[in-house]
Amino acid sequence: MGMFMNQARGTVVLCITGKFPERFLNLCAQHRIAYWGLSWVGEHTIRLTTFAQNRRRMEPLAERIDCTIQVEGSKGLPEFLSHFRRRYAFLIGLACSLFAVCVLSSFILTIEVTGNSTVPTSEILWELRRQGVRIGVYGPSLDRKVIAQQALVHLDTLSWMSINLYGTRLEVVVREAVEPPELLEDEGFFDIVAEADGIITQIEPLQGEAVVQEGDTVAQGDMLISGTITMEPPLYSDLPIRTYQTHARGRVYARTWRTVTAVIPTEASIKVYTGEKHSNWSLSLLGFHMDFFQKSSIFPSGYDKITKSYPLTLPDGTTLPVMLVAEQFHAYQLETVSIQVDEAQNLLEERLLEQLQKTIGSEGQILSTGYRSRVWNGLLEVTLTAECREEIGKETVGTPIESNPLQQGE
């Protein structure tokens, strides 16, 4: 620590020559002038080291006893800065460097979001930007606790957020909210009806009464599981048949036959580039854009815009908020060409199969498929006919029974 302070204050090596140099040492002690590294160079000459600022105090003392002071060397920060006394460009550069270290180091240059897996990072950054957190903002001015609380109010998918500032890097740590389990609604009367035509292959009634059996043929809208439950009276009893309604639940699987159709034009327009190009350059610094071109970056129709970004990246992989953006515009003309019918048919068949799988759900199975295709009126039409095994039951609101003794408390 002492060596560091000596370098900051600056030191100087002095040679004092006179008849009685030891008297000079006594005067320095009387005036509380510190020195060290004392050595005798000759019979009337001594060498010592002191702070650079003590030199002016020692010169009058040396004159009082007819001694001369000669500087042999100096070092430290004052000596280093003295070399730039007339080099104003270096002084300005040094001042700018100190300003960048002391002031600019407090501005946010990078924002990192961690802890999210399903919530997009862009969604979190957009909400933080609404709260005033962005690249180039002064970090110490942010009330990070309040910003995190306000962001959580608008981000229902997050349950916790912490914002930490490390110099020019802002770290946002989040925890995603756990979805509550789905609660089964028992209120109301519901039946399960057929969503499509088919032959019943399996029925699993969980609540309610099944009105169909395996092997039955049903049409769309037919009742599968009824929410109205009938209770037979005891044998040889005169009591009436009682019924009550509930929320029917269960699964009903059936063999179904689906038909899906898609069309595509037999002619298409393609782009043919003419070779005409235009380029515009801009600089993005801390979220602010500076354009290097006079004309607008909006071109009329007939041009494709390609944007390339070249961010400034440090050797450790950290990306700084400084980016050079190049916008290129390529002129093109539209030409009409005929499509390859075989390739278009294969494309439509793949799309129809994907659409059918989405229709029957992830648990549904496609047992067999067949395709028909034709070309008419400038269109290629492809029809998919498939046999499937799928769940066809869907809930629908039941009709309340006017007289229901069990619900009335009898």
The residue assigned the tokens 């327009």 is 269
Tokens representing residue 140 in the block: 């110490």
Q: Are 251 and 212 in contact (CB under 8 A)?
A: no
Question: Per the domain annotation, does 315 fall within a domain?
Answer: yes
Could you tell me if 350 and 375 lie in one domain? yes
Q: Which pTM value belongs to this model? A: 0.51
How far, in Å, are 30, 104, 148, 265, 316 from residue 132 at the CA level?
62, 18, 11, 50, 28
What residues form DSSP beta bridges with 244? 229
Could you tell me if 76 and 9 lie in one domain? yes
Could you tell me if 34 and 77 lie in one domain? yes
Question: Per the domain annotation, does 410 fall within a domain?
Answer: no
Q: Are 330 and 273 in contact (CB under 8 A)?
A: yes
Question: Per the domain annotation, does 136 fall within a domain?
Answer: yes
pLDDT tens-digit profile, the chain (410 residues): 667 777 777 888 999 998 888 888 899 899 888 888 889 888 889 999 998 888 888 888 888 888 899 888 888 877 776 766 667 777 787 777 877 777 777 888 888 999 999 999 999 999 999 998 988 888 888 899 999 999 999 998 999 999 999 888 899 999 998 877 665 555 678 889 999 999 999 999 888 888 999 999 999 999 999 888 887 777 777 777 788 788 888 999 999 999 999 999 988 888 888 888 888 888 887 767 777 665 555 666 788 888 888 888 877 777 777 888 888 888 888 888 888 889 999 999 999 999 999 999 888 999 999 999 999 888 999 999 999 999 999 888 877 766 444 444 33
Domain end marker among 337, 353, 384: 337
Q: Which domain holds residue 328?
A: 269-337
- The interaxial angle of helices 144-154 and 121-130, nearest 10 deg, is 120
Question: Per the domain annotation, does 256 fall within a domain?
Answer: no
How far, in Å, are 271, 279, 303 from residue 299 at the CA level?
17, 11, 7
Instruction: Please tell me the distance from the alpha carbon of residue 168 to that of residue 111, in angstroms, as a whole number.
Output: 9
Q: How many CB atoms lie within 10 A of CB 113?
A: 19
Q: How many CB atoms lie within 10 A of CB 137?
A: 16
Tokens representing residue 177 in the block: 């909210």
C-alpha 190: how far from chain center? 43
Could you tell me if 115 and 171 lie in one domain? yes
Could you tell me if 131 and 77 lie in one domain? no
Question: Per the domain annotation, does 400 fall within a domain?
Answer: no
Handedness of CA 354, 359, 362, 365 (dihedral sign): negative
State the total domains in the chain. Answer: 5
Question: Per the domain annotation, does 18 fall within a domain?
Answer: yes
